[in-house]
Amino acid sequence: MRTFATFGLGSLGSISFQHAIHALPADRPHGIASDCWIRLDEKLGLVLEPSQSAAGATGYFMVKQAGIWQRLALKSE
């Protein structure tokens, strides 16, 4: 009986946590579809671009500065 109660409470906690994640405000850059946006932090996100090839996913990072989302440009030397 204890095992069942522990499993039930653990599952309920998991569902509550998942609901809390999805309850975050939809703070994403203008023009980015919700299914292409992965918010990693309140100031960092990832945009996944739709790909027509089987080579894999492509995308880019965005950083929020002064309340505005800006694309992160990486420099290589």
Residues in contact with 49: Cβ distance below 8 Å, sequence separation at least 6, in sequence order: 36, 57, 58, 59, 60
When the pLDDT of each residue in the chain is averaged and rounded to a whole number, the result is 76
Instruction: Tell me how far apart the alpha carbons of residues 6 and 30 are, in angstroms, rounded to a whole number.
Output: 43
Q: Which residue has the higher pLDDT, 11 or 33?
A: 33
The tokens 């946006």 sit on which residue? 37
Helix (H), strand (E) at residue 53? none
Q: What radius of gyration, in Å, describes the C-alpha atoms of the chain?
A: 18
Predicted structure pTM score: 0.59
d(CA 40, CA 43): 8
Give the model's pLDDT for residue 7. Answer: 46
pLDDT at 57: 80
Q: How confident is the model at residue 22 (pLDDT cuts 50, 70, 90)?
A: low
Mean pLDDT of 57-75: 92
